[in-house]
Amino acid sequence: MGLLVAELLDIRGKLGFGSEISVLGYVIDPESMEVKDSFGWEVSEDVKRAILGILERYSRAEDIGVSGRLVNFRGLLGGSACYGVFYKEVIQPIVRVFGSSPRKLVEAGRRLGCRELSYGDASIELKPLPRVPLVYSVWRGDEELPPSANVLFDSTVTHYLPIEDIEALCEISTWRLCRLASTL
């Protein structure tokens, strides 16, 4: 635990972070290892562990910035092998919650500081970590096609995190967006 505290203390001011460490509205105190929710919701132990583990690995990366080139999950190293879980835990909930009303994605995203993009019927750029932008896009279904969704990544994402952490970060991001949508 001591090494993790040191890494989290060291991440402030690096890799795009300022003096505060915040991930998706979860504020992390690196000295106490406390994770607080800026919306006032309870933070589960699983989410705390996942966020702290992701931050630990992110803190070890060299800052190479972002490329601006977007790739899908299958285009990431190891993404094809993990795609079934990614689809079930990330894509399906987005389709279920936002497929019939894509604008809710933008409204929920704004509460996390997202910027609106122009892909699909609605899209946002969410930055759960400063060098890990996620692009969520939703297409409304019609009489010929069901609703669909996608998440795109900057091509540098696997430099900052392994595929398992990318998938976990997307699960947490999706859960946050869906929970925020339920409050709209």
| Same domain as 154, residue 95 | yes
Percent of the chain predicted with pLDDT > 70 = 96
Of 17, 38, 59, the last residue of a domain is 59
Q: Which 3 state secondary structure label does DSSP give 25?
A: coil
Structural domains in the chain (count): 2
- If one counts every other C-beta atom within 10 angstroms of the C-beta of residue 86, the result is 23
Rounded Cα distance, 11 and 110, in Å:
25
Helix 163-181, helix 103-110: angle, nearest 10: 100
Confidence (pLDDT) at 5: 64
Residues in the chain where the model's pLDDT stays below 70 = 1-6
Q: Which 3 state secondary structure label does DSSP give 83?
A: helix
What domain range is 82 assigned to? 70-181
In a domain, 24, yes or no: yes
Largest CA distance in the chain: 57
pTM for the full predicted model: 0.93
